[in-house]
Amino acid sequence: MSPPADYAVFTELSPDSKPAKAGWNRRVFTDTDVHKGSAIQCDFTTGIVTLAPGAYHVSGLSAVAYFTKDDPPETVVPRSPASAGYCRLRRVDPDVVVDPANMRELPNNHPSVICIGSPGTANLVPSVFETFYETDKPAQLLLEHQSGSTPEQIYLRVFVGNSKWHLFARIAIRRL
């Protein structure tokens, strides 16, 4: 008999606007789309996803947008050239203290970095990723996004039109 299924999908919607900072920005999920089992948990205050020991299939996306208060309502004004960036999924390591403003302090080839996403732009072109992850002890993961060292007018979340229904990040995890 197979073990009970464990899977979850967490989404970062836009209950408020949140400007991007220089360097790595932590994605903080706001909603649960689906959740079954107890092996996958999300802290909606920190954005940290905790996994029980096991093997997992993990995929998701992270997007950012240009935004100014002068933009016409219900629009995203694209820029050309557009600021590029990408997301990365990494394990939180209590022995590694990271300054998120220093993009190169923790290189992408560091053992705690699980995978990096595809290139994306601040014209709402998301960075997407897919990977497998296996752990023999509980693990804490976080999704980060960077749009360079000077992300002017770039937002991780945009709250406009009195609607929180603007999806900016999502992670889907299934225990194998």
Query: Can you give the CATH number for the domain in which 150 is found?
Result: 2.60.120.40
Residue 102's pLDDT is: 79
Q: Residues 87-106: pLDDT tens digits?
A: 999 999 888 888 777 778 88
- The verdict on residue 32 lying in a domain is yes
User: Minimal CA–CA distance to 15: which of 29, 2, 35, 3?
Assistant: 29
- The verdict on residue 47 lying in a domain is yes
Residue 108, C-beta contacts closer than 8 angstroms, at least 6 positions apart: 88, 116
Residue 71's pLDDT is: 82
Total tally of structural domains belonging to the chain = 1
- The verdict on residue 1 lying in a domain is no
Q: What span, in angstroms and rounded, lies between the C-alpha atoms of 124 and 128?
A: 12
Residue 163's pLDDT is: 86
- The verdict on residue 105 lying in a domain is yes
Q: Give the residue ranges of the chain where pLDDT is below 50.
A: none
Q: Which domain holds residue 166?
A: 7-175
Residue 115's pLDDT is: 98
Residue 174's pLDDT is: 98
Residue 92's pLDDT is: 95
